[in-house]
Structure 1
Amino acid sequence: MKDIKIIDIRHMRGPNMWTYTPVLEALVDIGELEDCPSNLIPGFYERLSAALPSLIEHRCSYGERGGFLRRVQEGTWPCHILEHCTLELQALAGMPGGFGKAREMSDRGIYKVIVTCWHEVVTRAALASARELIMAMIEDRPFDTAAAVDKLKRLADRHCLGPSTAAIVGAAEARKIPSIRLLPGGNLVQLGYGARSRRIWTAETDRTSAIAETISRDKDLTKTLIASCGVPVPEGRLVDSPEDAWEAAQDIGLPVVVKPYDGNHGRGVFIELTTQEEIEAAYKVALSEGSGVIVERCIQGAEHRLLIVGGRLVAANRSDTASVTGDGKHTIVELIASQINSDPRRGTTEEHPLNLIRIDSAARMEIARQGFTPESVPPAGQEVMIQRNGNHAFDVTDEVHPDAAAAASLAARIVGLDIAGIDLVCRDISKPLAEQGGAIVEVNAGPSLLMHIKPAVGKPRPVGQAIVEDLFPAGDDGRIPVVGVTGSRGTTQVARIVASLLSLSGKWTALASSEGIYLDRRLAEAGDRTGFEAANRMLTNRSAEAAVFENGYDVMFDQGLAYDRCQVGVVTNIDPQQHIGRSYIEEPEQVFSILRTQVDVVLPTGVAVLNAADELVADMARLCDGEVIWFASDATLPRIVEHRAQGGRAVVLIDGVITLAHGEQTTPLLAAADVALLAGDAGETDNVLAAVAAGWALDIPAYVLRTGVETFDLI
């Protein structure tokens, strides 16, 4: 029977043997299909290209548009097709780009398929859908691509970051600032590591105070505070009944606005009300949307949303009005569908910058004021207003007058918000507010960024970048010193010594090792804690000023690394026979590919600490983006001699003394005989040398290195 069977799936959550980003690695059995490349399946190419035409954009090995489909036409195997279809289904669901590979294993018909994993749930579903699609094409039966993509979109909406958070995280990644999602299905994200980290939740940060947010929800209090500092606001007050609302309107002067005292998203807001009937009806609806009602003077003009970040205007949008023109044949409801909601920019997803217009209570009142009902058929040529202030979808950032920007900035500062959405009403945003009677009507915490990222008209604004720049000034990458230690032996001891050296240097240090979790030299949790979860906990510990991780082979093989980059990566040694035999790992080169990940992630400003006496380890030097410090008991090894001749660094034994060698210079540290740890096992000498090299790479002073090694107590 011809089938594609997914035997096992491994989720690698961090840098791994395949790539720097999270992936799914699927072990796949294609059985009899090993004898059926795509060119031998009648009609397969035509059916696949029709079912998923966007595959034309996949360049594949030919490096040109249509390259992958050319491979399909010429003949390729199902797992290669599975890789590309999985990536394309994810792209159609809103997660474009990514990494993919398909690798044949030693058993006939067995492959590993590796694809970028934006979210495990979503990518697993994409992989399953891709398999179903391919089998349908092989068996010449229908496959509903649109339904499959729609399902993936819904999963992505539920599990992936929202647009505001994603914009900030994307801007952080562009600055090489790491991120950690703190809630699997939410938008709480940490940027940076340990004590240097900051946290965001959509458009709120750890600088957004609860008091400021509470003030912003109280519209009357907000107006009182900002008005006292000279910010123009509309006259108005809280009312407690429909009759009181009408009385307030008469005192203020018609027309007025009636709105909830603590509502949001524009629900229950009625503008330009002029009659007692309208005002009393609006009161009842507004009350249902909040805990109280405000009546205030109606400011003439359009509503604008100004985004203030760190006291600076970074984006501004104008709201739109929505109206229909009668044709004497169709009802207002039908005209809304044909003239407004047919606009492809309108919809219910994050891909649509404009919302669908619905007949809610505010729209019904607006239509009634013009003498119609939603079921009325307006005369030909008659314009009927449906919504006076809708989406803030028209970018006007470059038009904002400095006076308006200054007023918005002051309002945000008075309320106390680091990120604020300021709602400002005026006729012309390019002119001073005073000369046109403009005013600020609301100050919002946690404003949506989508309107600025994807405006319906105008250019997108780099609002995520502005927030990241406010959180992390130039030169701040949010990183603490991170040290990763891997190899076949000695990794626990090296990690323990390095953590001890960091602590002695004055840094609050977190350590995750096979012996447990140590927090500032205190054993907080015993047992093997070399997994991804334990390391992740260390990186999210905001007390940590440095972190050391022992990364065992199995963890790197199964899960990948918990950090994106590190300051120091240590590889003690490689014994391929210790690791060969699991999941088609059969050659020393495969073991090398897994353990090399530790060197791949060393920062350009960082250091790889490598065993000069181990040929496999030594071969990793060419992969390091940063500096290499060798360690070895034999100072006369050719690669050490050559490295020093080129001005490089090494930690070696010279006449029984642990020595820091930098070019031609040597700095004796202490005699190996004075290190209690080295009294027995000669193998531990390499461990001490590796730890000293890591400490040197971290700029720990020589006297601290000496004291730390001399006094280190493994027990």
Structure 2
Amino acid sequence: MQIRKIFDLNGPNIWTNTPALEAWVDLGHFEELPTNKLPGFTERIMGYLPSLIEHRCSIGERGGFRQRMETGTWLGHVLEHVTLELQSLAFAPVGFGRARETLEYGVYKVVVRCENARFAETCMRSARELILATIEDQPFDLEAELKRLRGVGDQWCLGPGTRAIVEAARERGVPHLRLNDGNLIQLGYGKAQRRIWTAETDRTSAVAESIAQDKDLTRRMLAAAGVSVPSGRAVSSAADAWLAAQELGGPVVVKPIDGNYGRGVSIKLDTEPAIHEAYQLAAKEGSGVVVESFVPGTQHRVLVVGDRAVASVRGDADVLTGDGSSTIAQLVEQANRDPRRGQDHQTWVLTRIELTPIVLELLRRQDLTPDSVPAAGQQVLIQLHGDLTVDETERIHPEVAAMCVLAVQAVGLDIAGLDVVAGDIGVPLGEQGGAVIEVNASPGLLAHLKPLVGKPQPVGEAIVDRLFATGQQGRIPLIAVSGTEGRTKTTQLIAGCLSKEGHQVARADRSGLYLGERAIKLGAADNALGARHALMNPGAGAAVLEVSELSVLEEGLSFDACQIAVVTTTRGAEAVARPGVEDRTAIDKAIRAPADIVVSDGFSVLNADDEAVVAMAERVTGKLAWFGGSLQSSPVKEHVERGGEALVRLGSQLQWWVRGEMQAAFAVTWMTESTPRTLVEPLMAAAAAVLALGVSRAALADLISKSA
């Protein structure tokens, strides 16, 4: 069983309206061996992946896929389901898949939905190895493989915070484009776009970030604004740190002036040797050191978005419980086996426990070392402010919330995570000696999305609401043109008409990529990359995109929806050459793809003179407008009688019919009965598209007058 070729369908495609991976798989001699002819296969694969019982398959019920394996199905189908399950177990649930045989003996197209093609391909290749091992009854270390796949997912897929924002945007109808292999995301298209990079936005100030990075400067600015903060100052040496501690009185915190994630922070220190050692630790982690009064209480993380405190979690202390036989080092090793623990607090609900110098000092104060054996039930404090998160959003006191917003405004950030130490977040800080101890730019969102205790908070939704006003979706007029003939001319005519209306039009067609009259890049741009670059352009007030059917087959679409989809014709579709395209069906689906994703108040503009295009009308979305045909014949006659839109030709005149009445007529002086359809159809397609979009009659009339 060999995987011959893989296509990254990065948007809507002929299989599904979501990103997918399409693989061409050669089963080899296994084409003669469906699963019911492979002894023990079903039992062994279910043993490896018992969660496959949830796959309903075409039977439509729990256990449906197992039934298919028991009665006999081909390994291409098994590869589909195992790939989906590995993606779900390793990183994120996905549910769509297809396996279809081709005209070539033993070769199948296997399609799976995916978030990232690199990750999905890795899962598919792992699925192949697992299937082959299962057939041969050879051992396969599934846990080790899932661990490796999780690492691949961490590398290539969106982080949980970014994914939450993207999902919130999708729910609201805001499109997105991933701009790099990390977490830089464009929300919206053209001039309506906004950008995020994890929990930073395009409005996050570099000045404010620099202020937040300097802990001493932040503390002084917050104090000046009236925010409760601990007393403290920057220090220049270990001796100065001890002097500062004596000035402050009581236990102190020693930390880097510009550190993050708690690195180099030592707390509750009150002896000269401990403070000297803490200074050295902090100095290694930052460009300077700060000494502050220790604030008793529990650390809380409050997320502020704009002028609202939208979420709050309490971080309870990390403790280990002795069993009377294990050392502390062994207890740490056991705790780190928790699958929720990882290296990165942005990705993992819990971070791994490391026996750092700070932890060793905390143990020393409890008269313990890593080799100590705590008694059964004995509690050992490992981290005073831990990541055992408890959601307290509904308990945060209004005065605390207001002070947190004030702190963020004093620094100048639009989104921030505040570390607040308080005995009770439901009591004003002034009444309990609490304080804001840090303001962090680009805060992690995972603690609010997946608290260990309490309900998740809609922080992604809060960020999207901050970026887009009510009713806004970050969209610009987007017109897609597909078909086998006349695409480029139709695209250019539509773009010209929109320009006449005052739009700055991004146009991608077979001749190149343009913004207005300026050529950005010459050469074929009727593909996914051309469309993507058009939609990325911040100067674009509208986009007109030519769509090649081959691009749809091999790449998918770069956009999730369009206002207008024009299908010019399917004539000559049989001549479209691509290995693996066995019949007209795939080509017609590719031509129809933009019309499958028209928004509900948009239009699919179809050629009434092409039988294959007419057949598409039953499947397209949005409203329907015809061009061509006549008022006396199907499908135009019935459509107009039902109140639909149609552009028909009568002699040298184009007539626009709406709700059973002619709304406009345009004289085309150069058009006669002998004018080739290759000239007439692009004009009619473009005219119907802009009329459906609502462009003024004057702009269209001007275009027609110059179209000869």
Q: TM-score range by the shorter chain?
A: over 0.9
Q: Per-residue deviation at 1:110?
A: 2.1
Q: Per-residue deviation at 1:44?
A: 1.4
Whichever residue aligns with residue 128 of structure 1, its letter is R
Q: Identity of counterpart residues, as a percentage?
A: 46
Partner of 1:72: 69
CA distance in 2, matches of 1:83, 1:527: 37
Structure 1 residues 356 and 546, CA gap change in structure 2 (3 angstroms): same
CA distance in 2, matches of 1:343, 1:589: 50
CA distance in 2, matches of 1:621, 1:443: 56
- Is contact 2:318-2:387 (8 Å) kept? no
> Structure 1 residue 82 and structure 2 residue 74: aligned?
no
Partner of 2:60: 63
Whichever residue aligns with residue 626 of structure 2, its letter is W
Whichever residue aligns with residue 533 of structure 2, its letter is R
- Name the SS of the counterpart of 1:673 in structure 2: coil
- Is contact 2:630-2:637 (8 Å) kept? no
Whichever residue aligns with residue 192 of structure 2, its letter is R
Count of residues paired in the alignment: 707
- Is contact 1:164-1:202 (8 Å) kept? yes
Partner of 1:706: 701
Counting only pairs closer than 5 Å after superposition, residues 234-273 of structure 1 correspond to structure 2 as 234-273=230-269
Partner of 1:30: 27
Structure 1 residues 258 and 581, CA gap change in structure 2 (3 angstroms): closer
> Structure 1 residue 534 and structure 2 residue 537: aligned?
no
CA distance in 1, matches of 2:267, 2:2: 61
CA distance in 2, matches of 1:409, 1:13: 39
Whichever residue aligns with residue 700 of structure 1, its letter is V
Whichever residue aligns with residue 480 of structure 1, its letter is I
345-354 vs 681-690, greater mean Cα deviation: 345-354
Whichever residue aligns with residue 106 of structure 2, its letter is G
- Name the SS of the counterpart of 1:596 in structure 2: helix
Aligned partner (choices 145, 153, 157) of residue 154 of structure 2: 157
- Is contact 2:318-2:388 (8 Å) kept? no
- Name the SS of the counterpart of 1:55 in structure 2: helix
Aligned partner (choices 5, 8, 18) of residue 5 of structure 2: 8
Partner of 1:471: 467
649-658 vs 557-566, greater mean Cα deviation: 649-658
Structure 1 residues 327 and 145, CA gap change in structure 2 (3 angstroms): closer
Q: Per-residue deviation at 1:222?
A: 1.1
Partner of 2:166: 169
Counting only pairs closer than 5 Å after superposition, residues 356-435 of structure 1 correspond to structure 2 as 356-377=352-373, 383-391=379-387, 393-435=389-431
Partner of 1:560: 556
Partner of 1:594: 590
Whichever residue aligns with residue 601 of structure 2, its letter is T
Partner of 2:114: 117
CA distance in 1, matches of 2:402, 2:561: 41
Instruction: List per-residue Cα deviations over 1:447-487 (Å, max 9, x = no partner).
Output: 00011111122211111111111111221111111110011
CA distance in 1, matches of 2:680, 2:509: 20
Whichever residue aligns with residue 210 of structure 1, its letter is A
Runs (5+) with no aligned partner, structure 1: none
- Is contact 1:304-1:392 (8 Å) kept? no
575-584 vs 107-116, greater mean Cα deviation: 575-584
Instruction: List per-residue Cα deviations over 1:226-245 (Å, max 9, x = no partner).
Output: 21121111111111111111
CA RMSD of aligned residues (A): 2.1
Instruction: List per-residue Cα deviations over 1:489-510 (Å, max 9, x = no partner).
Output: 0000000000111111111100
Aligned partner (choices 622, 625, 648) of residue 629 of structure 1: 625
Aligned partner (choices 286, 296, 301) of residue 300 of structure 1: 296
Whichever residue aligns with residue 515 of structure 1, its letter is S
CA distance in 1, matches of 2:615, 2:290: 72
CA distance in 1, matches of 2:117, 2:376: 54
368-377 vs 288-297, greater mean Cα deviation: 368-377
- Is contact 1:57-1:65 (8 Å) kept? yes
CA distance in 1, matches of 2:61, 2:341: 35
- Name the SS of the counterpart of 2:694 in structure 1: coil
Partner of 1:135: 132
Q: Per-residue deviation at 1:16?
A: 0.8
- Is contact 2:421-2:436 (8 Å) kept? yes
Counting only pairs closer than 5 Å after superposition, residues 601-640 of structure 1 correspond to structure 2 as 601-632=597-628, 634-640=630-636
- Is contact 2:644-2:660 (8 Å) kept? no
CA distance in 2, matches of 1:181, 1:681: 43
Partner of 1:690: 685
Instruction: List per-residue Cα deviations over 1:85-144 (Å, max 9, x = no partner).
Output: 111111111121231111122232222111113222111111212222222222232222
- Is contact 2:208-2:413 (8 Å) kept? yes
- Name the SS of the counterpart of 1:318 in structure 2: strand
- Is contact 1:673-1:679 (8 Å) kept? no
- Is contact 1:580-1:587 (8 Å) kept? no
Partner of 1:322: 318
CA distance in 2, matches of 1:246, 1:34: 77
CA distance in 2, matches of 1:300, 1:354: 23
- Name the SS of the counterpart of 2:68 in structure 1: helix
Partner of 2:123: 126
Structure 1 residues 46 and 251, CA gap change in structure 2 (3 angstroms): same
Whichever residue aligns with residue 15 of structure 1, its letter is P
Whichever residue aligns with residue 632 of structure 1, its letter is G
CA distance in 2, matches of 1:580, 1:326: 71
Counting only pairs closer than 5 Å after superposition, residues 437-456 of structure 1 correspond to structure 2 as 437-456=433-452
CA distance in 2, matches of 1:493, 1:142: 60
Whichever residue aligns with residue 32 of structure 1, its letter is H
Runs (5+) with no aligned partner, structure 2: none
CA distance in 2, matches of 1:313, 1:67: 47
Structure 1 residues 351 and 49, CA gap change in structure 2 (3 angstroms): farther
CA distance in 1, matches of 2:311, 2:430: 21
- Is contact 1:669-1:702 (8 Å) kept? no
- Is contact 2:348-2:446 (8 Å) kept? no
> Structure 1 residue 355 and structure 2 residue 338: aligned?
no
Q: Per-residue deviation at 1:341?
A: 4.3
Q: Per-residue deviation at 1:52?
A: 2.0
Q: Per-residue deviation at 1:148?
A: 2.5
- Is contact 1:669-1:706 (8 Å) kept? no
CA distance in 2, matches of 1:634, 1:579: 29
Instruction: List per-residue Cα deviations over 1:386-428 (Å, max 9, x = no partner).
Output: 3211226221111111111110011111111111101111111
- Name the SS of the counterpart of 2:617 in structure 1: helix
CA distance in 2, matches of 1:609, 1:577: 19
Structure 1 residues 158 and 251, CA gap change in structure 2 (3 angstroms): same
Whichever residue aligns with residue 86 of structure 1, its letter is T
Partner of 1:309: 305
CA distance in 2, matches of 1:178, 1:307: 25
CA distance in 1, matches of 2:381, 2:243: 27
* Poorly superposed stretches of 4+, deviation over 6 Å: none
- Is contact 1:423-1:440 (8 Å) kept? yes
Whichever residue aligns with residue 69 of structure 2, its letter is V
- Is contact 2:652-2:670 (8 Å) kept? no
